[in-house]
């Protein structure tokens, strides 16, 4: 068995400074990848990088060099700076995102635009910019979009977030065809409720847990398992992987 299946690969994880993104970054590092933690807050990125650099359980066959890249994923300029600084990206995980806190009628236009930009435009720009680099390098690649169960099981108070996350699934399916000729696989993870900062202040947490067949929120490490599978499995393309404790069934 290959203990370092991602050795020699460079993986960019947006939203990599914490929560699900950091769990994915850590898993990739354990499997031998060099990871670029991408996000918008330099101090959080540096703290996360220090933790990542402590992951040295074995000596991988190829040296690892983890790093950070500060960008706003909503902007083409941010993505341009990323591909300029990192000329060999093998795996992209679009994990950065922001959640919604109000009903649609109470959201200002700026908040609507921001939710669409941080959850959907970001992923579109990431796929376009990094996909272009991967195509030019003829190296193939793997892109993973972190969507949400709310994409198809939306609830009151999630309209714009849910619409953006549903858009990510459309993006994934379209690009799994457009990019396949360049051996770039495009997949999505659809988490239910996961224990992170994003869900820590949910008012109705106990009620939500009762609705989940497994009776609990998921762990970020469990989402990372899914990302590792999608990054490695060469036949996974347009694989839309639910991780919701069974909530999608009820």
Ligand X SMILES: NC(=O)c1ccc[n+]([C@@H]2O[C@H](COP(=O)([O-])OP(=O)(O)OC[C@H]3O[C@@H](n4cnc5c(N)ncnc54)[C@H](OP(=O)(O)O)[C@@H]3O)[C@@H](O)[C@H]2O)c1
39 touches ligand X by CB under 6 A: yes
Tokens of 120: 């959907």
Q: How many residues bind ligand X (CB under 6 A)?
A: 28
Tokens of 52: 């990542």
Say if CB 134 and CB 183 are below 8 A apart: no
- Pattern of binders to ligand X over 154-193, x per CB under 6 A? -------------------------------------x-x
Q: Which of residues 18, 126, 131, 245 is near ligand X by CB under 6 A?
A: 18
Whether 193 is a known active-site residue: answer no
> Could you give the CA distance from residue 203 to residue 199 in angstroms, rounded to a whole number?
9
- Pattern of binders to ligand X over 85-114, x per CB under 6 A? ----------xxxx----------------
**Helix/strand/coil for 179:** coil
Q: Which of residues 6, 13, 20, 175 is near ligand X by CB under 6 A?
A: 20
List strand residue ranges (DSSP E) for 27-66, in order. 34-39
Stretch that binds ligand X, among 67-75, 104-112, 132-140, 180-188 (CB under 6 A): 67-75
Using the Cα atoms of residue 18, residue 204, residue 170 and residue 159 in order, give the sign of their dihedral.
negative
For residue 85, give Cα distances in angstroms to 18, 95, 107: 22, 20, 36
Residue 148 Cβ, how far from ligand X at the closest point, in Å? 4
Residue 37 Cβ, how far from ligand X at the closest point, in Å? 9
Stretch that binds ligand X, among 4-12, 15-23, 172-180, 229-237 (CB under 6 A): 15-23
Provide the β-strand partners of residue 70. Answer: 39
Q: Which of residues 139, 182, 183, 199 is near ligand X by CB under 6 A?
A: 199
Provide the β-strand partners of residue 11. Answer: 35, 91
Residue nearest to ligand X (CB): 19
Say if CB 120 and CB 168 are below 8 A apart: yes
Say if CB 152 and CB 173 are below 8 A apart: no
Q: Which residues bind ligand X (CB under 6 A)?
A: 14-15, 17-21, 39-41, 44, 72-74, 95-98, 118, 146, 148, 191, 193-194, 196-199
Among all residues, which ones are annotated catalytic? 161
């Amino acid at each position: 068995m290959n203990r370092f299946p991602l050795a020699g690969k460079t993986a960019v994880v947006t939203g990599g400074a914490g929560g699900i993104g950091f769990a994915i970054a850590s898993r990739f590092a354990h499997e031998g990848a060099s990871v670029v933690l991408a996000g918008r807050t330099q101090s959080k990125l540096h703290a996360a990088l220090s933790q990542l650099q402590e992951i040295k359980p074995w000596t991988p066959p190829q040296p690892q060099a983890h790093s950070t890249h500060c960008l706003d994923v909503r902007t083409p300029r941010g993505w341009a700076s990323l591909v300029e600084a990192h000329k060999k990206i093998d795996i992209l995980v679009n994990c950065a995102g922001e959640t919604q806190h109000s009903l649609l009628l109470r959201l200002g236009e700026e908040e609507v635009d921001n939710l669409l930009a941080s959850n959907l435009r970001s992923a579109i720009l990431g796929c376009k910019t990094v996909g272009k680099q991967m195509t030019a390098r003829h190296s193939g690649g793997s892109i993973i979009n972190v969507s949400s169960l709310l994409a198809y099981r939306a609830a009151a108070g999630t309209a714009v977030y849910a619409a953006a996350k549903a858009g990510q699934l459309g993006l994934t399916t379209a690009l799994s065809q457009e990019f396949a000729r360049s051996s770039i696989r495009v997949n999505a993870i659809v988490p239910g409720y996961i224990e992170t900062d994003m869900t820590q202040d949910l008012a109705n947490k106990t009620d939500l847990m009762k609705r989940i067949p497994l009776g609990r929120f998921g762990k970020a490490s469990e989402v990372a398992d899914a990302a590792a599978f999608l990054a490695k499995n060469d036949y996974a393309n347009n694989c839309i992987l639910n991780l919701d404790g069974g909530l999608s069934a009820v």
